[in-house]
């Protein structure tokens, strides 16, 4: 079956530090890959996505590249801000018309001023 | 535009009581999902609907859980009887079909359930 493994947190960084959150997946076929973010007290919201190999998703300074050869979709940001403090979820969909998302367990990021 | 609306935001109840969680999806979305979030298990898909029809309920923990979608603008998740291990945040999300079949999920703010 499908599964997503992401690095366990919590991750604590100082403002302007470089961020990497690792994510690897197991899936049949050619899944689409997503990063969702959950700010305190809120629901999840889509941060970025990639639908095929070598695609790069980007938004708000965050980037992730779909690497089929390593089955990875690592999230990166060059300079984090306090406002980036949140829980980040890696997820995949089964592809095609199947909207069933499989999520990783989430990584809590805390950015200190 | 209004997002996905869930109610109640918080519910505290005693073991054995019936709990009903409600969700109003975004207008025009034809997929609706119920997720449960706990520290131990993360986010789990309980059930999802397409055009008001349940498509996959394999994530529903047991017969105490039931979900309905009587029309395109309303869904309920019911737990009867509730147990302390049901304590979690329950999220509703909606989506729509895209040409590539990989639509973004739009989540509500969640219903935090505590069963004493």
Neighboring chain B residues of A93 at a CB cutoff of 8 Å: 102
Q: What is the pLDDT of residues B37-82, one digit of tens each?
A: 998 888 999 999 999 999 989 999 889 999 999 999 999 999 999 9
Looking at the predicted structure, is the pLDDT value of residue B85 above 70?
Answer: yes
Q: What percent of chain A has pLDDT over 90?
A: 74
Q: Do A44 and B91 touch (CB under 8 A)?
A: yes
Beta bridge partner(s), residue B74? B71
Name the average pLDDT for chain B: 92
Q: What is the pLDDT of residue A98?
A: 53
Residue B42 to residue A104, Cβ atoms within 8 A: yes
The residue among B82, B60, B66 whose CA lies nearest residue B13 is: B82
Asked if A100 and B31 come within 8 Å (Cβ–Cβ), the reply is no
Q: What is the reported pLDDT for B78?
A: 98
With contact defined as beta carbons under 8 Å apart, do A50 and A58 qualify? Answer: no
The whole-angstrom distance between A83's CA and the closest CA on chain B is 19
Residue to test with chain A: of B101, B103, B108, most A Cβ within 10 A = B101
CB atoms within 10 A of CB B90: 22
Q: Looking at the DSSP assignment, which residues form a beta bridge with residue B36?
A: B44, B90
Both tokens of residue A53? 């190999």
Asked if A51 lies within 8 A of B56 by C-beta distance, the reply is no
Q: Is A35 on the interface with B (CB under 8 A)?
A: no
Can you read off the two tokens belonging to residue A70? 């390593």
- Give the model's pLDDT for residue A55: 94
Residue A18 has phi, psi (to 5 degrees) of -85, 140
Query: Is there a contact between B91 and A101 if contact means CB atoms under 8 Å apart?
Result: no
CB contact under 8 A, B104 and A43: no
| B81 Cβ neighbours under 8 A, 6+ residues apart | B15, B16, B17, B18, B64
Residue A33: how many other CB atoms lie within 10 Å? 28
Indicate the burial class of B95 (C-beta count within 10 angstroms; 0-12, 13-18, 19 or more).
buried
Nearest CB among A32, A43, A105 relative to B42 is that of: A105
Q: Looking up tokens 């809120």, which residue turns up?
A: A42
Q: What pLDDT is attached to residue A29?
A: 80
Most confident of A10-24, A38-52, B29-43, B86-100: A10-24
* Percent of chain B clearing pLDDT 90 (strictly above): 78
Q: Rounded to a whole number, what is the distance in Å from the CA of B30 to chain A's nearest CA?
A: 11
- pLDDT of A97 reads 47
| Closest chain B CA to residue A31 | B102
Rounded mean pLDDT of A29-40?
A: 91
Higher pLDDT, B103 or B86: B86
| Cα–Cα distance for residue pair A52/A40, rounded to 1 Å | 31
């Amino acid at each position: 079956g499908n599964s997503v493994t992401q690095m366990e947190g919590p991750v604590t960084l100082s403002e302007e530090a470089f961020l990497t959150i690792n994510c690897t997946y197991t899936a049949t076929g050619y899944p689409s890959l997503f990063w969702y973010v959950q700010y305190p007290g809120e629901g999840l919201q889509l941060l970025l996505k990639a639908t095929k190999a070598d695609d790069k998703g980007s938004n708000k300074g965050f980037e992730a590249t779909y690497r089929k050869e390593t089955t990875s979709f690592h999230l990166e940001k060059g300079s984090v801000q306090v406002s980036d403090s949140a829980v980040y979820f890696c997820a995949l969909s089964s592809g095609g018309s199947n909207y069933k998302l499989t999520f990783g367990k989430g990584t809590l990021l805390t950015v200190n001023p | 535009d209004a997002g996905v609306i869930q109610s109640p935001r918080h519910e505290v109840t005693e073991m054995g009581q019936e709990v009903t969680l409600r969700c109003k999806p975004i207008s025009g979305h034809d997929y609706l999902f119920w997720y449960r979030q706990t520290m131990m298990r993360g986010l789990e898909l309980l059930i999802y609907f397409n055009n008001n029809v349940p498509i996959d309920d394999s994530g529903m923990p047991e017969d105490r859980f039931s979900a309905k979608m009587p029309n395109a603008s309303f869904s309920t998740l019911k737990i009867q009887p509730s147990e302390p291990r049901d304590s979690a945040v329950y999220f509703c999300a909606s989506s729509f079909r895209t040409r590539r079949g990989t639509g973004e999920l739009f989540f509500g703010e969640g219903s935090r359930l505590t069963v004493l």
